[in-house]
Amino acid sequence: MHNNKHQPPPMTLPYTSNATATTTTSKDNTKPTLYIILFTAIFSLLFILSLPSTTSSRALIATRPDSALFPNRPISQTGISSAPTPPSIAYFISGSSGDAARILRLLFASYHPKNHYLLHLDLSATQTERDRLAITVQTVPIFKAAKNVDVIGKSDYAYPRGPSSISSTLHGASILLRLASNWDWFISLNAGDYPLATQDDLLHILSYLPKDFNFVNHTSYIGWKESKRLKPIIVDTGLYLLEKEEIFYATQKRELPNAFRLFTGSSFTMLTRSFVESCILGTNNLPRTLLMYFANMLYSHANYFPTILCNSDRFKNTVINHDLQYVAFNKTFSKKPPPMKPEEFDAMIQSGAAFAAQFQFNSPVLDRIDQEILKRGPGEVVPGGWCLGEGNDTCSVWGDADILRPGPGAKRLEKRMVKLLSDDKYLSQQCVDE
């Protein structure tokens, strides 16, 4: 347990595409058309990943964070620490046109000075929205003091149904690798997600875990997805067009690969820095091979990371078969998670998940989470061990960011982790070929 011993020191646009257009080709030009489609999509995906990006919320001349948050600590004479040093999480938070307010609320709800945050409004948002988001970030005192929140200036589209979502996620991860050298896990959130525990709760639990655990839902059971998602060939126009267009289908289908085994899961993951570096820097050819394979597949984001992890000798033993996210229950098949309902609140909290999806704009469930779980007011960050102020505005005075003050959420997370890491469950669900 970390104890603070210091006294003083509306506009919504669904983030999914809603229709597809089908192209047909004549028999005599089928193969040339298919080759053009594949080449265009793959080249566009690799080109986007190679683009440099500017961030509009950080000054060109880097300055050090506030010393109250990150003091110089004397070396312990005994060499024994009472608690492990808290880890750091890199967050990539994305949204579309009209999502700036949702992104800011999610940022406040998941904020901690030790973490790093990269905000992304895709190309459907105007540059004015993007600039206002960056300006708003610059006006928040704790963000300026910790210097850990940035906004992407050169954005792109990210269709959840197409491979452009992979491109956007990898692009964000590569920027976070350049911005900060000291984070341990990477989490990608969209504007409809929300935390179910404070960052003090989450960092406290993660500080006692090995930093090589990748939390990813995965299974090798393909079932109906083989014919509906894995074999169809699609082109995601978000990879190469500035205007928002729908994905479209080729008339051909392809067979499943035999050089590697496909795994499927969810698009939400919590990935280690070493794994993200492997995917971005290309130290192994597998991530790039699979990037090209998934460049023309439906919902490829849900398959990409599980397939890399479970086909990699280096990382396949690091996978925990849970993504720490709660998704609203729905018996009927849906292409996206159903909206979170108020009656699911108790089950959602008791699940021990760290995040939940899918919340509608200004859902009353969010207000209840803020009041009962996160203990934060509108427009305020979640209080933590680093907050030293008195009265209602507890985070007006800052202390050591390494001081955590975990609450009931840590107990729920601990219970979930113990269940996940029990020997029989952990090993039996790890990259098993079903």
**Range with the poorest average pLDDT among 39-43, 90-94, 186-190, 326-330:** 39-43
pLDDT band (50, 70, 90) for residue 237: confident
- Do residues 360 and 10 lie in contact, with contact meaning Cβ atoms separated by under 8 Å? no
Predicted pLDDT of residue 44: 54
Of residues 197, 144, 167, 202, the one with CA closest to residue 92 = 167
Answer yes or no: pTM beyond 0.75.
yes
- Distance (Å) of CA 341 to CA 161, 329, 336, 404: 24, 10, 15, 31
Q: Taking residues 26-30, what's their average pLDDT? A: 46
Q: Is the pLDDT of residue 425 over 80?
A: no
SS3 for 235?
Answer: strand
- Do residues 94 and 68 lie in contact, with contact meaning Cβ atoms separated by under 8 Å? no
Higher per-residue pLDDT: 46 or 207: 207
Percent of the chain at pLDDT above 70?
78
- Do residues 273 and 185 lie in contact, with contact meaning Cβ atoms separated by under 8 Å? yes
Spatial distance between the Cα atoms of 242 and 353, rounded to a whole number of angstroms: 37
- Distance (Å) of CA 84 to CA 98, 116, 117, 206, 232: 41, 20, 23, 10, 48
**Range with the poorest average pLDDT among 41-50, 106-115, 197-206:** 41-50
Q: Is the pLDDT of residue 40 over 60?
A: no
Predicted pLDDT of residue 37: 53
Spatial distance between the Cα atoms of 202 and 407, rounded to a whole number of angstroms: 10
Rounded to 10°, the helix 273-281/301-310 angle is: 100
- Distance (Å) of CA 207 to CA 87, 203, 213, 274, 387: 6, 6, 12, 17, 20
pLDDT band (50, 70, 90) for residue 38: low
Residues in the chain: 434
Q: Give the chain's end-to-end CA distance (angstroms, integer).
A: 40
pLDDT tens column, 168-203: 999 999 999 999 989 999 999 999 999 999 999 999
pLDDT tens column, 272-298: 999 999 999 877 789 999 999 999 999
pLDDT tens column, 109-165: 999 999 999 999 999 899 999 999 999 999 999 999 999 999 999 888 888 888 999
Complete DSSP assignment for 333-394: --SSPPPP-GGGHHHHHHTT-SEEE-PPTT-HHHHHIIIIII---TT-PPP-TTB---SS-T
Q: Taking residues 220-226, what's their average pLDDT? A: 85
pLDDT tens column, 374-409: 999 999 999 999 998 765 567 888 999 999 999 999
At 199, the amino acid letter reads Q
pLDDT band (50, 70, 90) for residue 433: low
Q: Is the pLDDT of residue 106 over 90?
A: yes
Phi-psi region of 236 (alpha: psi -120 to 50; beta: other; left: phi over 0): beta
- Distance (Å) of CA 158 to CA 155, 168, 169, 274: 10, 6, 8, 24
Percent of the chain at pLDDT above 90?
56
Predicted pLDDT of residue 15: 33
Higher per-residue pLDDT: 71 or 349: 349
SS3 for 121?
Answer: strand
Phi, psi (deg, nearest 5) at residue 50 = -85, -10
Predicted pLDDT of residue 336: 59
Q: Where are the domains of the chain?
A: 36-58+86-428
SS3 for 132?
Answer: helix
Name the β-bridge partners of 271: 186
237's CB contacts (< 8 A; 6+ apart) are 245, 246, 247, 248
160's CB contacts (< 8 A; 6+ apart) are 15, 16, 17, 267, 299, 301, 336
Q: Is the pLDDT of residue 373 over 50?
A: yes
